[in-house]
Amino acid sequence: MLQGHQTWEFENKPVILSTGTVGGPFEADGELADDFDLLHDDLWIGQDSYEKAQKVLVEESVSRAIEKAQLRNEDIQFMFAGDLINQITPSSFAGRTLAIPYFGLFGACSTSMEGLALASFIINAKGAERIIAAASSHNAATEKQFRYPTEYGGQKPPTAQWTVTASGAALVSNVGDGPVVTSATIGKVIDMGLSDPFNMGGAMAPAAADTIVSHFRDRNLPADYYDLVATGDLGKVGLPIAKELIEEKGLQLPEDTFQDCGLMIYREGQPVLAGGSGAGCSASVTYGHLLNRMKKGELKRILIVATGALLSPMSFQQKETIPCIAHAVSFEAGGGMQ
């Protein structure tokens, strides 16, 4: 199961039985609107706080995934979920509502693949039959915590990114038809000394590059093995930096296969500066758009590298630099074990 230094290979073929993706009004105007299961026209989502609205996003994405598999909450053994808000309260409070045995995770924007990696490991080891992995973010809740409330109207530099309002959930099973999770590479925490919270892409790029190179090394794969290698949310700034660092390490990915979820989700003309970000970014793009493409036969093998900046409001105020991480999970088309 352990391959190389930091990669798990899943010989029992954990399968993505179903997914649920829910987004906000800005995502409804985006490039991938048709790949969401549900889109809201109001950031408040009928709640009296943005944090409560994010909780609803988690509940809805998890419920959609379970309903699509024609199962009930009590049929799910565990739920892995996380977000960016203090003490991951949207995820934990959603766990209170859903009443599924719960692991709360914090990997910042890498949480989507962190949760999926752990869920797949447990399914592969026959520690459970069905696990939900979810990650979410909310633009207004995240901006309020890490930078300024959106109502403040503070101007941002072009390196800044737009936090995605979305939640994505994947139901991982030991049986069924659907894309298979074949491996996961667990990243190391890397800090190159950057401290600007308005340049997350630049800060996270070295971690993404390190994990991608480690994944190809551990699995001894050719550079063109995957139809798509997509980072979580490096954006316009971080993606070319990661590409350069990867090439410096001797790995030359085909130009048209190296992309970024934060650059896919919004259309040209939306004022997102360097692109999308947030824990819900890679979760919703992967579990919606990319797995839909895989089911249509457009993609056969993909590697998703979710990147996270592990800062907090406290660490920023104390002038700390930003430690970052990236976790990679590979998917292949086809059904799981019957």
**Domain coordinates in residue numbering, the chain:** 1-338
The DSSP symbol for 124 reads H
7 has which bridge partners? 3, 185
Given a cut of 80, is residue 197 above it in pLDDT? yes
* Antiparallel, parallel or unpaired: β 301-309 and 324-332: antiparallel
d(CA 21, CA 80): 16
Which position has the token pair 């399914």? 123
Region 31-54: what's the mean pLDDT? 97
d(CA 157, CA 165): 21
DSSP string of 223-239, one letter each residue: TT--SEEEESS-HHHHH
pLDDT digits (tens, 9 = 90+) for 142-164: 988 876 666 666 778 788 888 99
The burial class, CB within 10 Å (0-12 / 13-18 / 19+), for 329 is: buried
pLDDT at res. 148? 66
Percent of the chain whose predicted confidence (pLDDT) is above 70: 97
pLDDT digits (tens, 9 = 90+) for 245-301: 999 999 999 989 999 999 999 999 999 999 999 999 999 999 999 999 999 999 999
DSSP string of 162-184, one letter each residue: EEP-EEEEEEEESSSSS-EEEEE
Contact 214, 4 (CB under 8 A): yes
pLDDT digits (tens, 9 = 90+) for 306-324: 999 999 988 988 999 999 9
- The verdict on domain 1-338 having CATH code 3.20.10.10 is no
d(CA 260, CA 234): 7
Given a cut of 80, is residue 222 above it in pLDDT? yes
pLDDT at res. 146? 78
pLDDT digits (tens, 9 = 90+) for 51-105: 999 999 999 999 999 999 999 999 999 999 999 999 999 999 999 999 999 999 9
The burial class, CB within 10 Å (0-12 / 13-18 / 19+), for 34 is: exposed
Amino acid sitting at position 288: G
Q: Whats the size of the chain, residue-wise?
A: 338
